[in-house]
Amino acid sequence: MQLHVRMSPRDPSEQHRAATPLELFFDLTFVAAVAQAAAGLQAGLAHGRVRAVLIAYPLVFFGIWWAWMNLTWFSSAYDTDDVAYRIAVLVQMAGVLILAAGVPRALNGWHFDVMVLGYVVMRLSMVTLWLRAAVSNPAGRRCALRYAIGIAVVQVGWVAWLALPRNIGLAFFAVLAAAELAIPMWAEAAGRTAWHPRHIGERYGLFTIIVLGETVLATSRGVATALGGKTPFGDLATVVVGGLLIVFSMWWLYFDMPSDEIVASVREAFADRITGAFAWGYGHYFVFASAAAVGAGLDLAVSHVTHHSRLTDLETGFAVTAPVALYLLVVWLLHAPYKAPGLLRSFVVPVAVGLILAASATPEPVLATGLLLVVVVAISIFAKRAASSTAPRGGRSAAAGGAQAPAAP
């Protein structure tokens, strides 16, 4: 490690580019934030504060996701791994931990002060990184300065947002979130950052695994608590089996197509059309948020069996099926453009989404949802095998932009 390295753009075609130990360490701090968000969602629903927590949860998860995503894309283009860069990332990690500490207050009583403090710490650290990139890289200076200016201005808005009453604050949050999302589009219009497709694909895949891991942990914690209260395991068997089928299938369906090859296709078109990259990157907000919510839903299902939840049978079913359906739908939408056309790509997932939501009204919604996802996975496996057997020699697919043979559904 060097004391200082000129922050020049990294080669987007660099061989063997992978996540660094610092990036993996950075991700670990988000484990705490995601866990707090899922636990707060579960507690709010279990105690009957359905409307309040369903409004607050998307706001909380936006702060978690957006802070993670910004450093991830910046690092893909400008990671120097020198002392100054490491310190800036460590400051952001401290901000993540502050944010995580504020999640329960935000979900329980609409008190976002600690969360905003942690968020602003992270974002101001990003401003310093973009200013450093602007100084070191004259070719990308306009783009970097737009990032720095945009981020700094919006942070003033977040601090002012804390003084607003809740009824006005919700609308102002939407304005500030839209401004955050618009900053990269405005900045990239002045020049493109040199992010690495395989690196980005790996980073998103790793964060998906982290969120799914939190889902497994939430379910395990709920079952352990129930068994500690002398609940017979037979009463929990369908929730445990169905929950495992759900989480395993969610992992399978996300990684059914190599993310790095999808992002490589996006990267090829990025110079002329930036919308594809933003659609793929921003769409993962719903992937991550819904995956974390599945963990809360499964924990609620355990609480319902042990009579520690105020939700009805139908409401408990929807607490599981709604986030699962959203996850499945968004993953399908993100993958669909890179898969071969056909009935499977067009109809299997929408039909499965409808059936999963309908499973909320069944006596065993968790098990029914898990079995439906297994059917989707099985269809995907057989469809991929059929596509491979009919593909030209070499296994290349024009539909996937030269990537491996596409899968379905």
Residue with token string 């057997």: 389
Q: pLDDT of 127-160, one tens digit each?
A: 999 999 999 999 999 999 999 999 999 999 999 9
- Per mean pLDDT, which range of 214-228, 233-247, 322-336 is the poorest? 214-228
Provide the 3-class DSSP secondary structure of residue 196.
coil
**Is the C-alpha dihedral spanning 14, 19, 20, 22 positive or negative?**
positive
Distance of CA 378 to the CA centre of its chain: 25
Strand partners, 396: 404
**pTM > 0.85:** yes
Q: pLDDT of 166-191, one tens digit each?
A: 889 899 999 999 999 999 999 998 98
Q: Confidence band (pLDDT; 50, 70, 90) for 276?
A: low
Q: pLDDT of 228-262, one tens digit each?
A: 767 777 778 899 899 999 999 999 999 987 776 77
CA distance 176 to 151: 11
Q: Which helix (H) or strand (E) holds 124?
A: helix 113-136
